[in-house]
Amino acid sequence: MIDHFPFYLGLVVIILLLIMLANKIKVAYPVLLVLAGLLISFVPWIPNLHIDSELIFIIFLPPLLYDAAWQISWKELWHWRRVIGSFAFVVVLITALAVALAANYFIPGFSLALGFLLGAIVSPPDAVSAGAILKFVKVPQRISSILEGESLLNDASSLIVFRFALLAVGTGQFIWQQAAFSFLWMVAGGIGCGLLVGYVIMKMHKFLPTDANMDIILTLVTPHAIYIIAEATGSSGVLAVVAGGLLLSNRRLVFLTSTSRLRYANVWESLSFILNGLVFIIIGLDLPQITAELETVSIMSAIGYGLLITAVLIITRLISAYGAVVVTLIARNYIPVADTRHPGLKGPFIIGWAGMRGVVSLAAALSIPVHLENGTLFPERNLILFITFIVILTTLLLQGLTLPVIIKRFKLTDPDYDKPEEEMYQNLRRQLNQLALTHLQQNYHDKVGKYPVLQQMAQKWQEIGDADTVSLAEEPRDIYREILEKQRQWLVQQNREQNAVIEDVIRRHLLFLDLEEEKMRYFSY
């Protein structure tokens, strides 16, 4: 490990340069990173990289899922819960079944159980790839929310299916009653563990005498602690991390100070950035190991199988996307749905085409044991690994490179929000200033005349500007802090009740309020 330390430092530098290039040419950076890893792996003096699946499941996956849970809009997640749930669970099962049937029919030596195992591995789309693409092109908020919400949950459902398929291959039998009970426990137990551990950690933040540094350390420990505890109980660690992350994110204004929230944003943005970069370049670097282990199947045949499975995945997801439209149109006659209007044909196509595979698929494939419990070699393990790699590479290149072009060609309008995001932001800013001015005049009218700085603030708010927090004495500082808290409460209430404002706009204002409060710590008074 120490001998290769300069190589790993070099990888970090390469990741930074490639992401800069990706931003420049407006290409999703996972595409460039996988290709770069692939090219680097052919350099003769590069050390052979052996990836342990536990490294990804324990080191990489929990923090990435946890941070994704913090970033997602809970309001949008709940609003589109039926669509998100169908893609995260039903579509994953349908995809696994379609892959199982195709593999059993077209790939020699593949039983239905092995096909289902492969299907579970390659069924979940990757969240990072879609997010990297949507950064460069604008799509309706509902599409972005559905893709983000699906990515939070489909990893858990695919890994649950993977466990059952692995058991069926190892034992040669599948007991439906036992599987159903285990599935319910993995889902309910995972969510329960995540909420319980998250609640305990929230109380630790709130009642222990922590400072901002300690709070950040606790947030770094949290996803790993949740994942390990949930897995120890036999439930889904992935679902537990998502549930715990959603709970803590929704309550962060209660148990974290403004300083801790600001530092969380800085630390976790950098951490997620480097973890995602490492994961995708590692996928490319792992090709020589995967290829070397192919023995009974030729490279060309294995590539053909990989392309076949990729085609099955793409077609199944597109059919599922349009199938969800049909189901929604029928269901709206009987139950309340998120939107009764016809979604059109372009939106479902984008959701269906945004099916790039990534880190979870690779980690699941690598976690297949080399030997069965009876000591025999696990059937077709090396071929499953190779097919998984081909699926990841092909979907990243094909869908990852064409999705931005398709989105631009479609020129979709947002049916939910008729105003640009910046206009929403400015409208909300004016309402916040009016709220602050009203609170100041109603509760501290006598103090305004006493402290000139409060007069300056009131004048700024009347001019629809932002108050200057300079040289605040103790009493006006406390008044201003109270006003900031009043504005936070109003924003949280608006987020719950107001559907005309994107939650990202609300979060931008909350960040601004945290910055205002933080500025007061550095002023002389």
Q: Provide the pLDDT for residue 524.
A: 43
Q: Which residue has the tokens 């039903």?
A: 90
Distances (CA, A) of 164 to 101, 230, 254, 305, 368: 17, 17, 40, 23, 12
Distances (CA, A) of 487 to 158, 481, 504: 42, 10, 16
Cite the beta strand spans of 119-239 per DSSP E.
none
Q: pLDDT > 70: what percent of the chain? A: 90
Total-model pTM: 0.85
95 pLDDT above the threshold of 90: yes
Which pLDDT belongs to residue 176? 66
- Kindly report the number of other CB atoms within 10 A of residue 4's CB atom: 13
Q: Residue 10 is encoded by which pair of tokens? A: 């070099």
Structure confidence at residue 241 (pLDDT): 93
Q: What is the 3-state secondary structure (H, E, C) of 367-383?
A: CCCCECCCCCECCCHHH
d(CA 455, CA 248): 38
Which pLDDT does position 170 carry in this prediction?
A: 73
Q: List Cβ neighbours of 356 (8 Å cut-off, separation of 6 or more).
A: 30, 125, 126, 129, 130, 392, 395, 396, 399, 400
Residue 496 to residue 199: CA distance in whole angstroms: 22
State the Cα–Cα distance between residues 320 and 353, nearest whole angstrom.
11
Domains of the chain: 5-410 (1.20.1530.20), 421-522 (no CATH)
Closest C-alpha among 508, 512, 503, 513 to residue 250: 503
Residue 525's pLDDT band (boundaries 50, 70, 90)? very low
Structure letter (DSSP) for residue 216: H
- Indicate if the pLDDT at residue 315 is higher than 90: yes
User: Which pLDDT tens digit goes with each residue over 429-449?
Assistant: 888 888 888 887 788 777 776
CB 352 within 8 A of CB 268: no
Section 238-247 average pLDDT: 92
Q: SS in 3 state form for 179-213?
A: HHHHHHHHHHHHHHHHHHHHHHHHHHHHHCCCCHH
Q: Can you spell out the DSSP letters for 440-508?
A: HHHH-HHHHHH-HHHHHHHHHHHTT------S--HHHHHHHHHHHHHHHHHHHHHHHH-SSS-HHHHHH
**Which helix (H) or strand (E) covers residue 276, if one does?**
helix 258-285
**The pLDDT value given to residue 198:** 95
Where does the pLDDT of residue 465 fall: very low under 50, low under 70, confident under 90, or very high at 90 and above?
A: low
In degrees, to the nearest 5, what angle opens at C-alpha 487 toward C-alphas 71 and 270?
25
Q: How confident is the model at residue 272 (pLDDT cuts 50, 70, 90)?
A: confident
